[in-house]
Amino acid sequence: MSLRKPPSYSFNYQPRDLDNSELLDLYRSMLKPRLIEEKMLILLRQGKISKWFSGIGQEAISVGVTKALTPDEYILPMHRNLGVFTSRNIPLHRLFSQWQGKGGGFTKGRDRSFHFGTQEYKIIGMISHLGPQMGVADGIALAHKIRNENKVTAVFTGEGGTSEGDFHEALNIAAVWDLPVLFCIENNGYGLSTPVNEQYRCTHLADRGAGYGMEAHIIEGNNILEVYQKTCKIAESMRQNPRPVLLEFKTFRIRGHEEASGTKYVPEEIMNSWFKKDPIENYRDYLFEEGILTAQLQERYEQETKAEIEENLAKANAEEPAGFYETKELNDVFQDATNQNFNSSTIKEKLRFVDAVSQALRQSFQKHKNLILMGQDVAEYGGVFKITEGFADEFGKERIRNTPICESAVVGAAMGLSINGMKAIVEMQFADFVSSGFNPIVNYLAKVNYRWSQNADVVIRMPCGAGVGAGPFHSQTNEAWFIKTPGLKVIYPAFPYDAKGLLNAAVNDPNPVLFFEHKALYRSIRQDIPTDYYTVEIGKASIIREGENITVITYGAGVHWALEAIEELELEEIEVIDLRSLQPLDTETIFKSVRKTGKILVLTEDSLFGSIASEIAAQISERCFEYLDAPVFRVGSLETPIPFAPALEEGYLPKKLLKEKLLQLTEY
């Protein structure tokens, strides 16, 4: 009796329940990204593309996971997941244009490689900071779950990315909220040149799932049948029983982090062992031995794919390079936001600032059924300032969501909600804490519309400001961190009427908005305001006191300090501009007042260096110098962190200095 010859492949491809056409489709789907990559490496050496991150040897993961999902389920890939894009049948000429920085790509030449998304193909690309996309996947999955859509969202990261805080925050949120997110770790041995033994100490990254109460699996990432069949089974189970699952795919990066890096840091014996586990060569040998693939069919697949590559490459090559048009560049920073002005009725009631904010939120939730609020203690407790008290009972905890303490992932989830057709409000418990969510705000929300025309329909509420004895970590007014970031809108009202109208407008706006609410004004300022829904246009300042001699330009608590100082000093003809909106800034109103009075004082609660006061002073000096009768005066707080003790805080704030500067400017 003869013994069967040992297989020439490294993996166990049995058992299987796929027919021959499905088996061949998986092979051809892996072959396509491999042949594209081989072509791109040639073009890289010829200087026709600028950079390449190779996924050669990892095709089984990209293809297997993508094939296991339905075409209407979102995938968030990394830069080694070309197989995701090709398996979703994205036109190759658009991919090639993207890599060449041409206008026909997905980012109009504004970003490179796989840093893009496309709603048409339900692919949301990465940013270089890696981790934030994990939280974005949470938000996409949350939108599906709220709408009872029984869909899975898959997101990729490498073993290096699992060390980022965003990874842990996102897994924790997904576990707590039972979100159907498939977290896919491509454990490929190295983070650039750092081996896994210098990255983590657990035996397997899948072991981390237990720490979050999360189901986890280890999968042979170079075995296409294992990847595909196990992912199919897990994904279907997640659709029926929504929950997150962590998958660790064991694989290897056989080329450099990017081509310039090389692989000299990899021991030769390790590299050779993984060369033998090539997912395409092993699977091809298996198909040959089973009589499923023939030499003629193999030749046909290669020739047809190469012809498709050349045809689409020629189309991309013929395209003109992306051209610079300043107006177009500036116009694409924000999505068009039609000012939906809703006029108020004559029925009014006297409300505190805090009540105006609460009323705006309630009426926005009534108007927008797809609006979600996320933040620490915002549900039953009503937030630390009780602004959302009763909201959970009225709108349900699906829409009013308590979050773990993880600002970065929550901001990412808000971005994901926007991608999946929802609106999101994130409440920072205190504006100071936004530093923990800074990265996704300035690098994801702010840039996403400019990069690939995806809006970030997110409002971030920021209780801020000193004067309440809260010390260095609960008193900052940190608007200057954001006003210089293109793509963000920054609002800072001083009165209840404006707070309500501008917050409603911010929720309507499809762009990311930072909405600052001064804590010292919450319960100290009252105003008669309309009881029904209305909006105030973003980007328009308000002249709240007319005058001919001096213009005081300020916002937030500074408005009230200015009015108090003017009254106490019995000054006449002082014009006061309440900016209300810091980005966009109403320079037209500012310059008009400058031309009228000729003397300017810009007041901010922030310290002066790098503040909005400095920017306004610079613009006035540049644009209106010939109208000035004195230097532009700036008044701000002391250049220290914000102290706690009453005497220290009083000395820190610029109220006394404001009066001195007003008198000095009057006499100038």
Mutual angle of helices 92-99 and 20-45, in 10-degree steps: 30
Matching residue, tokens 């929720």: 507
Assigned token pair, 129: 């900071």
Alpha helices in 241-294 (DSSP H): 268-275, 279-289
Between CA 632 and CA 642 the distance in angstroms is: 26
Six-digit token string for 157: 């990261």
The enclosing H or E element of 21 equals: helix 20-45
From first CA to last CA, the distance across the chain in angstroms is 111
The angle subtended at Cα 344 by Cα 592 and Cα 456, nearest 5°, is 75
Which residues pair with residue 195 across a beta bridge? 190
Residue 230 one-letter amino acid: K
**H helices within 388-545, ranges in order?**
391-395, 407-419, 438-440, 448-452, 480-483, 496-508, 519-522
In one-letter notation, the amino acid at residue 226 is E
CA pair distance 183, 175, nearest whole angstrom:
11
**Which residues contact residue 445 at a Cβ distance below 8 angstroms, ignoring those fewer than 6 apart?**
411, 414, 415, 456, 458, 487, 488, 512
Asked if 69 and 118 touch (Cβ cutoff 8 Å), the reply is no
C-alpha to C-alpha distance for 295 and 55, rounded to whole angstroms: 26
474 is catalytic: yes
Q: Is 261 exposed, middle or buried (0-12, 13-18, 19+ CB in 10 A)?
A: middle
Residue 428 per-residue DSSP state: -
Answer for the pair 92, 305: CB distance below 8 angstroms, yes or no. no
Angle between helices 295-318 and 92-99 (to 10 degrees): 50
Catalytic position from the list 79, 93, 257, 474: 474
Q: Taking a C-beta distance cutoff of 8 angstroms, is the pair 578, 554 a contact?
A: yes
Distances (CA, A) of 21 to 17, 24, 502: 12, 5, 58
Ordered DSSP codes for 284-344: HHHHHHTTSS-HHHHHHHHHHHHHHHHHHHHHHHHSPBPPP-HHHHHHTSS----------
Q: Please tell me the distance from the alpha carbon of residue 138 to that of residue 144, in angstroms, as a whole number.
A: 10
Distances (CA, A) of 610 to 513, 541, 606, 613: 21, 21, 9, 8
List own/partner pairs for 478-484 with CB under 8 A and 24 or more apart.
478/431, 478/432, 478/434, 478/435, 478/606, 479/514, 479/516, 479/582, 479/606, 479/612, 480/606, 480/610, 480/611, 480/612, 481/434, 481/438, 482/441, 482/442, 482/514, 482/583, 483/582, 483/583, 483/612, 483/615
Does residue 489 contact residue 584 with C-beta atoms inside 8 Å? yes
Name the residues annotated as catalytic.
474
